[in-house]
Chains A and B, each alone.
Chain A
Amino acid sequence: MDAIRQQFFDFDIMRQAWPMLLEGLVMTGLICLVVIPIGLLAGIGAALLSLSERRIVRWPSIAFVDLFRALPPIVLLIFVYAGLPFAGIRPSPFEAVAIAFLLNNAAYYGEIYRAGILSIGRGQSEAARSTGLGAGQTMLYVVLPQAVRNVLPDLVSNTVEVVKLTSIASVVSLAELLYQADMARSVTYNASPIVAAAGIYLVILWPLVRLVSRLERRIAA
């Protein structure tokens, strides 16, 4: 019992590692700030393209979405970080994370928006068009707002996944929360810093997870 406390809950070590963890947390926040808004926007693009009337647009878009849903994000990240330099492109760790997350997020958010847009009856866009709105206006002011409301739980739930996923940035030695915690672990030979990092993730994400459950129940009801 005492061994477990020493190995996982050594508060002295946690306190020493705290400044490092905070630095990591700032980086994690920075990644999220870049990656989530871009992903939310790129997802709309992917959804619209994969719903296009033209087959020559629709099929490649669906193939793109399926491809990046099939690839594990960490494989994508390592490919971008370690594979692209062979082609003369040398992304920094942060750029590699941004590129990999852009591709992955466009696919995942895209599927969610797509389901949302499909859930809105044709009558809505027909009515909007007949009032004189253009196709773009109809999508922007009539279809998308309703679509987003329908898939809000999925959007929030995927955003939780994205925040969790930022932890793989540690693999390309970007100094985010988990990377810093693991550095502290390797210096102290003690898992407490990672447990502290887990605590930080929990404090940030638990409320969001609760929110997702709540939203899902409201939609189901």
Chain B
Amino acid sequence: MDEAATTMTPGERFIETYFNAAVMERYLPAILDGFVVTLQLAVLVVVSGILLGLALACLRAYRVRPLNVLIVCFADILRALPPLVLILIAYFGLPNVGVSLSAFAVIWIVLTLALAAFAEEIFWAGILSVAPGQWQAARSTGLSFTQTLLSVILPQAVRLTVPPLTNRAIAVTKSTALGMVIGLSDVLGAATTAQSFSGSATPLMMAAIAYVILFLPFVVVARWLESRFKWRHA
């Protein structure tokens, strides 16, 4: 083994270190299991985060003062706090007050709240961007406030929110990798475990590749959406 290592070219040593076929084969199943966990979390976080954000933005449209203060505080606090701080508080603090959540549940809840905070702000900006005449016209045809909001304002507001929302959803979903810190067996968790067992950097490379496979399509789509909905300024 040592003799072989000394006769290797730098290129071969690089492959041996980061793309070791034997290590890849051994740990592929674990990384794939992790991939499934990451994928499940990603889907759950995106769906629940965006729905909660949309619901909060709609609620805000009714302009009930105390409620709006709460919504704005929620959005501000969750946009200002690093998700990892909330993850540690929830994972290590809650069991002592009788609430034991799995790592999976903690990541899901914290990231849902984080995405919801950003989504609420984005949807709210979208709602505000619809001309007031649309409200007046819809109300004067006899539609109720709720009907106006849901079938006249929202469809127009949502279109504007697509590019920023896509970017934000990608950023928050990538944070599922933080689950590694509390022992979640997602892609990164599986890879760091495999790395310490195998003493090889190959599992980390596999994790990086797995994340690129998962997120690169969305990054490319986001870029395309942005150029399509390009904001015209001057």
A residues neighboring B (CB under 8 Å):
3-4, 7-8, 66-67, 69-76, 78-79, 82-83, 86-87, 115, 118-121, 150, 160-161, 164-168, 170-171, 178, 181-182, 185, 189-191, 194-195, 197-198, 201-202, 205-206, 208-210, 213, 216-217, 220
Contact = CB atoms under 8 A, between A and B. Distances in A.
Given A70-B215, A165-B82, 8 more contacts: A8-B97, A83-B195, A83-B204, A119-B231, A121-B234, A201-B80, A201-B85, A220-B129
B204 A168 contact: no
Most buried by B among A70, A76, A79: A70
Interface string B121-158: 10001001100000000000000000000000000000
Contacts of B79: 160, 209
Interface string B12-52: 00100110000000000000000000000000000000000
Contacts, number: 151
A117 to B, nearest CB: 12
Interface stretch (B53-61, B63-71, B101-109, B206-214): B206-214
Interface in B165-219: 170-171, 174-178, 180-181, 188, 192, 195, 200-201, 204-205, 207-208, 211-212, 214-216, 218-219
B89 interface: yes
A16 B159 CA distance: 51
Contact of B96 (A79, A115, A191, A205): A191
Contact of B192 (A70, A78, A121): A78
B220 interface: yes
Contacts of A171: 180-181
Nearest to B207: A75
List the 8 shortest-distance A-B pairs measured between CB atoms, nearest first: A191-B93, A205-B80, A86-B201, A72-B174, A167-B82, A72-B177, A70-B215, A164-B82
Nearest to B195: A82
Interface residues of B, number: 56
Main secondary structure of the interface of A (DSSP, over half): helix
A191 to B, nearest CB: 3
Given A119-B234, A197-B85, A7 B205 contact: no
B82 A82 contact: no
Given A75-B177, A191-B93, A220 B211 contact: no
Nearest to B217: A70
Interface of B: 14, 17-18, 76-77, 79-86, 88-89, 92-93, 96-98, 121, 125, 128-129, 170-171, 174-178, 180-181, 188, 192, 195, 200-201, 204-205, 207-208, 211-212, 214-216, 218-220, 223, 226, 230-231, 233-234
Contacts of B195: 82-83
27 contacts: A70-B212, A70-B215, A71-B174, A71-B211, A71-B212, A74-B180, A75-B188, A78-B180, A79-B204, A82-B201, A86-B200, A87-B18, A118-B230, A119-B233, A121-B234, A167-B84, A171-B181, A178-B88, A191-B93, A194-B89, A195-B89, A201-B80, A202-B80, A208-B80, A209-B79, A210-B76, A220-B125
B125 A74 contact: no
Contacts of A181: 85, 88
B76 to A, nearest CB: 5
Contacts of B82: 164-167, 178, 201
A8 B216 contact: no
Contacts of A205: 80-81
A3 B220 CA distance: 48
B212 A178 contact: no
Contact of A78 (B171, B204, B215, B220): B204
A79 B208 contact: yes
Contacts of B178: 74, 168
A173 to B, nearest CB: 12
